Amino acid sequence: MDKLIIEGGVPLTGVVEVSGSKNAALPILFASILLTEPVVFHNVPDLRDIRTTIALLLLLGCDCGYENRKARVVAPGVLHPEAPYDLVRTMRASVLCLGPLLARIGQARVALPGGCSIGARPVDQHLKGFEQMGAHFDLEEGYIIGRCRKLRGAHISFDLPTVGGTENLLMAAVLAEGETILENAAREPEVVDLANFLLSCGARIEGHGTSCIHITGVSSLHGTEYTVMPDRIEAATFLVAAGITGGELLARSCPFAELETVILKLRDMGMEITATADGVLAKCARPLRGVDITTQPYPGFPTDVQAQIMAIMCLAEGASIVQESIFENRFMHVLELMRMGAQIKITGRTALVRGVKRLAGAPVMASDLRASASLVLAGLAARGTTEVRRIYHLDRGYERIENKLNAVGARIRREKE
């Protein structure tokens, strides 16, 4: 197991490249099961979750290649329908093979993901939607066994906007018979990127990016080349890195519109953030002020940036309030930040952060992906040395973060624990 050792207190300055989006690449890679012609993807980030996805596609019988951020997938006529527990437990998003498998071969055997450190995260909305399209499910030995004849279009209204549920049903609907309407659908840019990929393969989709998506099933899709969108969550992490260290960073390829809610909050805190031809320039010359945020589905404040903005709130003047409305257990970073001198009080799903003058380096433990990023950010700003342990979480979603940050002045080294 690796750990990161961070010598804090250096303002970061320079240009940092934003990678392809993990959360867009995962469903898009699974969507390649929907066709038998080859698909080539560019800007696929080199991450542990991507390698897990490729491993799963190989187990399903696909022919896959992945090098230099370029992936190639060819799904055979006959697929093996099983996603085993060993892979699903390391990456919940494995459940995204369910829709494509049902649509392509009418059967799927996918391990039930179970809980994860940030909450229970059930898949009931996915299953309810597939049932409306004609699928039947049994639970056997911890596996969801799904069967169907040809899926048929349906009018599906989600009880809550679920990103994975919308993606799974969208993938299934493009090959279903007739029309599908997804109501109360997730509007996240990653759902839009998946729809754009499917459109480039010949799917018929309208309304992606709104809460009502119309899909008209087609009999088959054709091969294509597709470039995955930049990672707005990684980009947001870099903007916070500029602010928390009092530096100036140009996040190249950083999407501006998709990060507007985050950018407005960081500006409220006192950062200067501007769109440039190359990306987004973020700097922080003044003292930071506290702000309040509530996480919401897109276009609201993303839950995946909650932990990172909390790190910068710890050093802002005055109080900040964070309400986590998406996941029930997403404050795992709080106790670790407090070990570094942060003053935070949690009541239910609300955290009250009182800004302190400085944080002090300490050994801390990463508990999930975005919590790990929050601890790295705190370490960059803290006086002294911070050791972030269990960074395998970080490696799931950040492409060589220490190399990217060291290139703009950070002092981070990776060591074996």
Of 93 and 342, nearer to ligand UD1 (C-beta) is 93
- Tokens (6 digits) for 290: 């506290």
Size, binding site for ligand UD1 by CB under 6 A: 23
- Euclidean distance between CA atoms 80 and 57, whole angstroms: 10
- Tokens (6 digits) for 275: 């769109």
Q: Which residue is nearest to ligand UD1 (CB)?
A: 164
Catalytic entry in 116, 148, 201, 314? 116
Residue 244 and residue 202 in contact, taking contact as beta carbons nearer than 8 Å: no
> Could you say which of 31, 111, 123, 351 contacts ligand UD1 (CB under 6 A)?
123
Of 63 and 124, nearer to ligand UD1 (C-beta) is 124
- Euclidean distance between CA atoms 386 and 359, whole angstroms: 10
> Could you say which of 19, 162, 237, 386 contacts ligand UD1 (CB under 6 A)?
162
Q: Does 121 bind ligand UD1 (CB under 6 A)?
A: yes
Q: Does 160 bind ligand UD1 (CB under 6 A)?
A: yes
> Could you say which of 193, 231, 234, 304 contacts ligand UD1 (CB under 6 A)?
304
Q: Does 326 bind ligand UD1 (CB under 6 A)?
A: yes
Residue 345 and residue 320 in contact, taking contact as beta carbons nearer than 8 Å: no
Q: Does 165 bind ligand UD1 (CB under 6 A)?
A: yes
Tell the burial category of 132 from Cβ atoms under 10 Å away from its Cβ (0-12, 13-18, 19+).
middle
Of 327 and 398, nearer to ligand UD1 (C-beta) is 327
Of 158 and 246, nearer to ligand UD1 (C-beta) is 158
> Could you say which of 125, 180, 237, 261 contacts ligand UD1 (CB under 6 A)?
125
> Could you say which of 52, 94, 245, 303 contacts ligand UD1 (CB under 6 A)?
303
**What character string, x for contact with ligand UD1 (CB under 6 A) and - otherwise, covers 49-88?**
----------------------------------------
Q: Is residue 201 annotated as part of the catalytic site, yes or no?
A: no
For the chain, the straight-line distance linking the first and the last C-alpha, in angstroms and rounded, comes to 6
Cα 229 to its chain centre, rounded Å, is 12
Of 52 and 386, nearer to ligand UD1 (C-beta) is 52
Kindly indicate which of the ranges 53-61, 116-124, 224-232, 280-288 contains the residues binding ligand UD1, using the contact rule CB under 6 A: 116-124
- Euclidean distance between CA atoms 167 and 192, whole angstroms: 9
> Could you say which of 197, 238, 327, 331 contacts ligand UD1 (CB under 6 A)?
327
Angle between helices 232-245 and 260-268 (to 10 degrees): 10
Of 122 and 270, nearer to ligand UD1 (C-beta) is 122
Residue 22 and residue 47 in contact, taking contact as beta carbons nearer than 8 Å: yes
- Tokens (6 digits) for 323: 């309400």
Q: Does 163 bind ligand UD1 (CB under 6 A)?
A: yes
- Residues paired with 116 in a beta bridge: 119
- Euclidean distance between CA atoms 185 and 278, whole angstroms: 32
Q: Does 23 bind ligand UD1 (CB under 6 A)?
A: yes
Q: Does 126 bind ligand UD1 (CB under 6 A)?
A: yes
Kindly indicate which of the ranges 35-43, 119-127, 235-243, 378-386 contains the residues binding ligand UD1, using the contact rule CB under 6 A: 119-127
Q: Does 236 bind ligand UD1 (CB under 6 A)?
A: no
> Could you say which of 16, 18, 25, 26 contacts ligand UD1 (CB under 6 A)?
26
Task: Please state the closest distance from residue 204 (CB atom) to ligand UD1, in A.
Answer: 24
Of 102 and 326, nearer to ligand UD1 (C-beta) is 326
- Euclidean distance between CA atoms 99 and 199, whole angstroms: 17
Of 72 and 121, nearer to ligand UD1 (C-beta) is 121
- Euclidean distance between CA atoms 267 and 291, whole angstroms: 10
- Tokens (6 digits) for 169: 């049903």
Q: What are the residues binding ligand UD1 (CB under 6 A)?
A: 23, 26, 92-93, 119-126, 160, 162-165, 186, 190, 303-304, 326-327
Enzyme catalytic residues: 116
